[in-house]
Amino acid sequence: MESYVQPIKPVANKPTTLQRSDARLAVTWVGHATVLIQMDDKFFLTDPNLTSTVGMLSKRFYEPGIDIEKLPTLSAVLVSHMHFDHLSYGSLDEIEDKTSRLFVPQEGLTYTPNYSFPTIELRPWQTWTRDGISITAVPVQHLGGRYGLDETWMRNSCTGYVLEYHGMRVYFGGDTGYNDSIFTKAGARFPNIDCALMPIAPIHPREFMKRAHTDPIEALQGFIDLKAKHMMPIHFDTYSNSTADTVGEASGILRTAMQARGITDTTVTILPIGGQWVVIPKHD
């Protein structure tokens, strides 16, 4: 109950602009699994979660890392699965006028309301292409339902995505447990991924979380399996929930694992909520 007494903390340095003129590829961490991706003139948003709570139960530690009114028009919004912290109806309501289209995993239309934008369902390895953009659903190891009981028949309603535009590639892991084959197969099919957005929590209790959630060490190994060029960790330090993780624990473990492998922060960049990273700069 303590998290409900404490006010949601403000983000100290929200970006003043979300359209980086100095970047070909840039990422802004909004919090949890929500990332704004800029690829040249196109913008994408992953698992938008902009509300103060998840399902009226888990409260945010920090406010979203962007001002919603500053969002550019989004070429696509990507939802990885149906859980309340990834498919947020209230958040989709807030960005409806900025969304061109929504992508959901196989069977995801079951829980997707009718919005003014089209919703496109992708099965594993299916690719959607338009205006030079390619979006491919890639397998992950997670749970597909929304309410618990529906996990038994919505086994395929979870996915990751690979975004491709102007020769750049971004991998979004959504929420996944570690399985070397899902990463190596994605990396083989999509070589030279420029940036992998990898979930690093929840960690505890590990026996329970392991099947569906990579911890920081497993996420780093998944990044290596993908053979991606860069990694940005997501899915940590945003909400109070059923995990026993402490704020700062996941990123601390990740830094230790990076040091042990000789991986620098130019390869794996840990952003604060509201932080921006120019992955590929624009050269005049």
**Beta-carbon contacts of residue 216 (< 8 Å; ≥ 6 apart):** 200, 201, 203, 233, 250, 251, 253, 254, 257
Q: What is the mean pLDDT of each run of 10 residues along the chain (284 residues)?
A: 65 92 98 97 97 76 94 98 92 97 95 95 98 98 79 80 98 96 98 98 90 95 98 92 81 98 97 97 84
Give the residue among 188, 192, 142 at the shortest CA–CA distance from 170.
192
Would residue 2 count as lying in a domain?
no
**Beta-carbon contacts of residue 184 (< 8 Å; ≥ 6 apart):** 225, 226
Q: Is 215 exposed, middle or buried (0-12, 13-18, 19+ CB in 10 A)?
A: buried
Q: What is the pLDDT of residue 98?
A: 98
Residue 120 DSSP SS3? strand
Give the CATH number for residue 240. Answer: 3.60.15.10
Give the CA dihedral 185, 220, 234, 200, nearest 10 degrees.
Answer: 110
- At 170, the amino acid letter reads V
Would residue 47 count as lying in a domain?
yes
Q: Find tokens 């309603």 and name the residue.
A: 157
Give the CA dihedral 116, 117, 123, 127, nearest 10 degrees.
Answer: 160
Would residue 142 count as lying in a domain?
yes
Q: What is the pLDDT of residue 145?
A: 74
* Angle formed at CA 95 by CA 270 and CA 112, multiple of 5 degrees: 100
d(C-alpha 166, C-alpha 241), whole Å: 39
Q: What is the pLDDT of residue 56?
A: 55
Give the residue among 9, 111, 3 at the shortest CA–CA distance from 57.
3
Would residue 184 count as lying in a domain?
yes
Would residue 4 count as lying in a domain?
no
Q: Please count the structural domains in the chain.
A: 1
Would residue 21 count as lying in a domain?
yes
Q: What is the pLDDT of residue 2?
A: 42
Would residue 58 count as lying in a domain?
yes
Q: What is the pLDDT of residue 219?
A: 98
Would residue 165 count as lying in a domain?
yes
Number of other residues whose CB lies within 10 A of the CB of residue 200: 29
Are 266 and 64 in contact by the 8 Å Cβ rule? The answer is: no
Residue 265 DSSP SS3? coil
Q: Are strands 168-172 and 160-165 parallel, antiparallel or unpaired?
A: antiparallel
Number of other residues whose CB lies within 10 A of the CB of residue 186: 25
* Length of the chain, in residues: 284
Range of the domain at 122: 9-281
